[in-house]
Structure 1
Amino acid sequence: MKLLLIVALLICLPAYGQLVPAQDNVPEDTPIKVEGTTGDKAITARLLAITSAISGMEQITASTEAGVLTLRGEVANAQLKDEALAIARRLDGVVYVQDMLQEQLAVRSRLAPAAEKFEQMLTKAVQMLPLLVLALLAVLCFSWLGGWLARHSTWLRRFGLTELASNLGVRFIRVLVTGIGVLIALELLDATALVSAALGVAGVIGIALGFAFRNIVENYLAGVLLSTRNPFAIGDQIQVGEFTGSVVRLTSRDTVLMTYDGNHLRIPNSDIITLAMTNFSRNPLRRFQFDVGVSVTLDLVQVRQLGIATLTNMPGILADPPPRCLINELGDSAVALKFFGWIDQRNTDFLKARSEAIRLVKSAFDDAGIEMPEPIYRIHMADMNNAEPPAPTEATTSSQQAARQDVDVTTDDTMQQQLQTELRTSDEENLLTKHSNSKS
């Protein structure tokens, strides 16, 4: 019966006695031609010839009976096992492939492929050793060149850049020059594909780091902008938001102030840019003010003249602009007066001058018998039916005429003079000036 089955298979199957020419990109399911007859012995011999030529399949044995191909032996790993089975299924005349292969579990057999790959890599590295040396020299040379440019960064100052901006430019130039050396090294090693991959990864990492360190980058750029604009100098008294102090230093991340309590206050540079900032030292002239309440029964003209005379005779108070006194508010039991005085901060302390001005005005009012009352509430019981307006007396009329003669409502050009002085002496860019000139 077996003999008849074999004869039938030989009759049905076509003869394979011709050689199959080699083709590129042969599909994996393309049948493998068996030379000579397609008998069981020919199938076995063909398979063993193939496996013996592949590393890791030398220990495979095979037997074929009625087109059923049985594989036995050991292979190095599961991948070689799958490849051996795929080769067996592609042989002509094979009806079924029976898998009886086993994977090698010995450490030596598992290390053999890795050792072979390492040996190949070592051989390739030895062959590329001259290129590796040239690539390393390129990186070292360009890195040294970047460091040399960083050490001789005084040429950046010739462009009018500040120290912080110069440091930023030096770092950028150093990274740029070193990056050129790395690109040349990768080009020598024929690793340009790695450059594209590295740039892509660097872009993703840059976006992630940008979100993670957004505040640090924002403060650094704000520091560069502040160092370029120079809105304050060391020792200037400034106010940022609710914080006031003297400028100690400007760093790449924050601005350090010395508060009036002697503490170091660090304000992020981004806050200096975004928040409103007052520089009390940019203009040497500074005005102080304080309020005084006097009785409603007093002659306000005499009270005001006494206060102005007191401030005029006080040391440190400037005669130009002169001290001023304004009636700020008329209350129920007192009249609020507001006194103003100018000082030169280069010679006079602001807080001391204001303190002494308040003390001297209070002493002058006490000596003149000018009352500064506390809130008083009076209740008048009057007959509204028989009430008549009091007739003006001669003293009241003369007092009103004297008050009218002492009225001064002329324009105060003190601030206008300070503004014109600032415009003449400051060299800071003024966009409003350019805009107005363009209109004219």
Structure 2
Amino acid sequence: MLLFTLILAVSAPALAVAQEAAVAEPQIQVVDAPQDEAIATRIRSILAAIGELDAVNVSVEAGVVTLSGEVASLDEARSLVAIAARTEGVVHVRNKLTERLEIGARLQPLTQKFQELGNTTLQLLPLLLIALAVVVLFWFIGGWASNRSGWLQRLGVSELASLLGRRVIRLTITIIGLIIALEILNATALFSAVLGVAGVFGIAVGFAFRNIVENYLAGILLSARNPFSIGDVIEIGEFTGSVVRLTSRDTVLMTLDGNHLRIPNSVIMTSSMTNFSLNPLRRFDFNVDITPDADLSYARQLARQTLSQMKGILSDPAPQCLIHELGASTVILRVLGWVDQRQTDVLKARSEAIRFVKQAFDDAALEMPEPTYRLRFETPLPAIPGAAPAATEQATAERLVPEPTDISQTDVSADDTIDKQVAAELRSSDEQNLLKK
């Protein structure tokens, strides 16, 4: 009994503390908690405000919302689930919505959009007509202004550059009209988007047609600089010919053998070019070998005197003969002469100069060394049966046609064969030519 009394006395304070704690922590109560029907009514009113959701059923039980029925798309279903989840008192949302697969249901939104677009177009039709009239007006103004741009050529601008300038003027005025039309339609943002797309498209086209653009720009520079004219004989790299025409893309040459050669303008701009026709005076040269024991002063004087007597060889600048190289068994002389290409053909003059210099050296007993091989046979070679008898020197001399020996009457006249072919090509072709005739 005493032990029970002691235990009770010890445990009494602990029980008192537990009772006080229970009284200090009040019970959690739900005040004005939304009822299931209120939640369902709220969600249905939201769906009714959205519209076109008559096929969606809403049921609520213990705060769990169940959405069922058909919707136009899965995105619409996710949107409805998000709306239901944000409603006060909703614990969980079960999505039982399905997507409509009927053709009519799929086409109905598109039909409605077309109807809205048609209604908007009818409302904007007066503004569209005004905007179209502005674009057409500025297009005609651009055409009129580009046709009145003859002042570009009067300023010395080339034909191709003038053509490019006219196109730029017309395009600029047309773009200004387009901007005004978009401003009338309150669609300037569309113009910015179009410019962005055009910029990207322009970069792609620029890379794709880089060579064409390079040749076009090179044609503009060539027509502006005029480094050659029709009929000029030019050399570009390994190609030589007479200029026929310059187009916006390439340059046409008539080669010395009568063929048409087209060279891209960009190649001409980036290559070394020699124009043989800008300066009417042209020099030719050739080498002559003589023996080392010959009188070099006399040989040089004889070569100069021979060229000075030739028809077509200019006296100013005077012909020259230089010691070009000294070899082991020969001395090489270099003979130079000048001609006027307008009257004398340089190839004919060089050919005749070689012939007359050789003849003069032979007459003066100036030997020209050449490799000599001596074959020695111990016994005579047997005669070949049926072989024709060797021609005598007299018969050989009779068969040779003597060449004219009058140094002042030799034919070195200018050769106009290619010039005639170039003229015939210009008459027969209507291709664009940026060079002045």
Do the structures match in fold with TM over 0.5? yes
| C-alpha displacement of 1:293 | 0.8
Is 1:188 matched up with 2:190?
no
| C-alpha displacement of 1:74 | 1.6
Higher relative contact order (CA 8 A, sep 6+): 2
What amino acid maps onto 2:146 in structure 1?
A
What amino acid maps onto 1:140 in structure 2?
V
Is 1:177 matched up with 2:173?
yes
Separation of aligned partners in 2, 1:96 and 1:319: 114
CA contact (8 A) 1:146 1:177 kept: yes
What amino acid maps onto 2:294 in structure 1?
L
Is 1:163 matched up with 2:165?
no
Separation of aligned partners in 1, 2:89 and 2:326: 119
Q: Give the match for residue 395 of structure 1.
A: none
Q: Give the match for residue 104 of structure 1.
A: 100
Report Cα offsets for 1:82-123 as digits up to 9, x if no partner. 222222222222222222222211111111111111111111
CA contact (8 A) 1:292 1:338 kept: yes
Is 1:268 matched up with 2:264?
yes
CA contact (8 A) 1:56 1:76 kept: no
Q: Which of 254, 259, 262 is the matching residue for 1:258?
A: 254
CA contact (8 A) 1:56 1:80 kept: no
Matched position secondary structure for 2:89: coil
| C-alpha displacement of 1:148 | 2.7
What amino acid maps onto 1:291 in structure 2?
N
CA contact (8 A) 1:57 1:76 kept: no
What amino acid maps onto 1:130 in structure 2?
P
Q: Give the match for residue 220 of structure 1.
A: 216
Q: Give the match for residue 138 of structure 1.
A: 134
Q: Unmatched 5+ residue regions in structure 1?
A: 1-10, 16-36, 378-440
| C-alpha displacement of 1:375 | 4.2
Q: Give the match for residue 354 of structure 1.
A: 350
CA contact (8 A) 1:326 1:339 kept: yes
Q: Give the match for residue 286 of structure 2.
A: 290
Matched position secondary structure for 1:239: strand
| C-alpha displacement of 1:328 | 1.5
**How much identity, in percent, do the aligned residues show?**
59
Report Cα offsets for 1:231-263 as digits up to 9, x if no partner. 111111112222221111122222222211222
Q: Give the match for residue 71 of structure 2.
A: 75
Separation of aligned partners in 2, 1:97 and 1:12: 24
Q: More displaced, 289-298 or 83-92? A: 83-92
Q: Give the match for residue 438 of structure 1.
A: none
Separation of aligned partners in 2, 1:161 and 1:304: 52
Separation of aligned partners in 1, 2:211 and 2:97: 62
Q: Give the match for residue 40 of structure 2.
A: 44
Q: Unmatched 5+ residue regions in structure 2?
A: 1-27, 374-437
CA contact (8 A) 1:333 1:375 kept: no
CA contact (8 A) 1:289 1:354 kept: yes
Separation of aligned partners in 1, 2:144 and 2:237: 43
Separation of aligned partners in 2, 1:207 and 1:273: 24
Q: More displaced, 368-377 or 50-59? A: 368-377
CA contact (8 A) 1:332 1:375 kept: no
Q: More displaced, 87-96 or 310-319? A: 87-96
Separation of aligned partners in 2, 1:155 and 1:125: 44
What amino acid maps onto 2:342 in structure 1?
R
Q: What are the residue-to-residue correspondences of 1:51-90 with 2, within 5 Å?
A: 51-90=47-86
Q: What are the residue-to-residue correspondences of 1:105-124 with 2, within 5 Å?
A: 105-124=101-120
User: For the structure 1 residues 262 and 55, does the alpha-carbon distance in structure 2 shift closer, same or farther, using more than 3 Å as the test?
Assistant: farther
Matched position secondary structure for 1:53: helix
Q: Give the match for residue 238 of structure 1.
A: 234
| C-alpha displacement of 1:286 | 0.8
CA contact (8 A) 1:333 1:374 kept: no
What amino acid maps onto 1:318 in structure 2?
L
User: For the structure 1 residues 76 and 13, does the alpha-carbon distance in structure 2 shift closer, same or farther, using more than 3 Å as the test?
Assistant: farther
Tell me how large the CA RMSD over aligned residues is.
2.2
Q: Give the match for residue 149 of structure 1.
A: 145
Max radius of gyration: which structure?
A: 2
Q: Give the match for residue 337 of structure 2.
A: 341
Matched position secondary structure for 2:65: strand
Task: Name the TM-score, length of structure 2 as normaliser.
Answer: 0.74
Matched position secondary structure for 2:177: helix
What amino acid maps onto 2:183 in structure 1?
E
What amino acid maps onto 1:372 in structure 2?
M
CA contact (8 A) 1:164 1:252 kept: yes
Number of aligned residue pairs: give it.
346
